[in-house]
Structure 1
């Protein structure tokens, strides 16, 4: 039986960087353009790893391509990442999660920082300590059974994280991600993405989490390779982004690691 894993608090002032090169993978749609440049700048300023390529995954969009040119990012048409369409996935939100779980198809480096397009890093982040991966966790445990039932049905494993892993970004190991998907295909006898879709509870308003899938797989199969750390994310409405210039990031970074500007419709 897995022991309950401790969630530690990292001291940002003493946080050590890593020489492990990573790629960055961010699925985007045009409504994210307002925040996206700051998301890119925040990662480049605060991620304490050498960054290989910065991939922006999007539907065909000249606007997003222009921002990729300005920010020296690589534009990837989302239709080239998966063999199914957004319509076949059932929703854009689920499709983006499938895109993240197939980041190993696009990225060249062995480690991939997968991030949401609405979250700005404002404090130092290191994702590898020795041979262990640091998962930045949410503030509280979110007891929402459909997500954990989905994980169990999909992987044949029980979710063991003592706290929510849905914190808007996570470092994936390309090797471990590929093994996870091979496990899923072996269990279900079909492509991993179809198995993900077929095990979703259609009545649940939030039936799936890519971060819970990968994170709980790692905690179940490779617990000694994972460090859980307090994520210290601050959530704001997307309309608050216009007040960004009024925020004192030096002051905020003493308490928070990142700010998410959510579009709640």
Structure 2
């Protein structure tokens, strides 16, 4: 497993790790936590499977991403968004050579609450359908949007890449298959004649905070080119999204509010430039985006069997 933990995620990291340790039904050999710093912990509280990895040792550092975006004439403040995506897409290079053929990557602000299988008995990765590519709350009928920056970026990056359905694959975790991911990276490098990370950044939409998505890219690539190696499923979950700063909700609070519910997972996310990001989410219909942007407070997003619901997140939060 690989968990990405930004500084803002550290208060809820233990909840994320415990959720995986308690509910992952596949064997777990290593939990690689990629972070800026290693926290001090009581000696008796250390799980020997947890390995801390300084994010500055990643093949492409955050400072490198920032400099490259600046060279491209793009907003370097988006560097953290693209850095964490590139880390996920290089996950196998961060692990020992004898690491398993599958790696579960989980965002540190997401926690599993129920027992979950991530690789089935035939060696197939179980991939989440995730959020619809176009948000229409309450609907079970989803269609591909007229435009979506992540779809367009993926199509520019990998020749022949096309979406297989109207779901994004974005749900704060992904099971990467070494064979599938290796083929994706090689195709992109061959097509662009440059290292994968440069091609990924160069083909991202320069006008969007969310100008590319590693989850959209990988899920649809795997489904189209390696259908025999993956299965798809809905993961019922609630995500609380909010701006970065004091106050708001924490991951332990959201997890506690979901106890006794049918939810399989919950997340609690803080976003830089929250209002700006809401304004540039082209998968949100214009009227809904204006409504959300007019009062950009915390929101809860709930997925039940692929049906999306959205509401204002106010205390006391009740998800059961």
Q: TM-score, normalised by structure 1?
A: 0.82
Does the 8 Å CA contact 2:132/2:167 hold for their aligned counterparts?
yes
Cα displacement string for residues 131-184 of structure 1 (whole angstroms, at most 9, x for unaligned residues): 322112224333451100000000011122331200110100122211211111
Moved more, 137-146 or 89-98: 137-146
Does 1:88 pair with 2:67?
yes
1:51 paired residue among 28, 42, 52: 28
Partner of 1:3: none
Q: TM-score, normalised by structure 2?
A: 0.69
CA distance change for structure 1 residues 226 and 55 in 2, over 3 Å: closer, same or farther?
same
2:266 paired residue among 245, 259, 262: 259
Cα distance between partner residues in 1 of 2:9 and 2:47: 15
Higher-Rg member (1/2):
2
Alignment of 1:185-204 (within 5 A): 185-204=189-208
Q: Secondary structure at the match of 2:11?
A: coil
In the alignment of these two chains, the number of paired residues is 237
Does the 8 Å CA contact 1:119/1:261 hold for their aligned counterparts?
yes
Provide structure 2 residue ranges, at least 5 long, that are not aligned to the other structure: 69-75, 135-144, 243-247, 273-320
2:149 paired residue among 143, 146, 150: 146
Q: Give 1:30 deviation, angstroms.
A: 1.6
Q: Secondary structure at the match of 1:44?
A: helix
Cα distance between partner residues in 2 of 1:97 and 1:206: 11
Does the 8 Å CA contact 1:139/1:230 hold for their aligned counterparts?
no
Does the 8 Å CA contact 2:110/2:268 hold for their aligned counterparts?
yes
RMSD of aligned residue pairs (Cα, Å): 2.2
Cα distance between partner residues in 2 of 1:67 and 1:202: 45
Partner of 2:316: none
Cα distance between partner residues in 1 of 2:20 and 2:4: 15
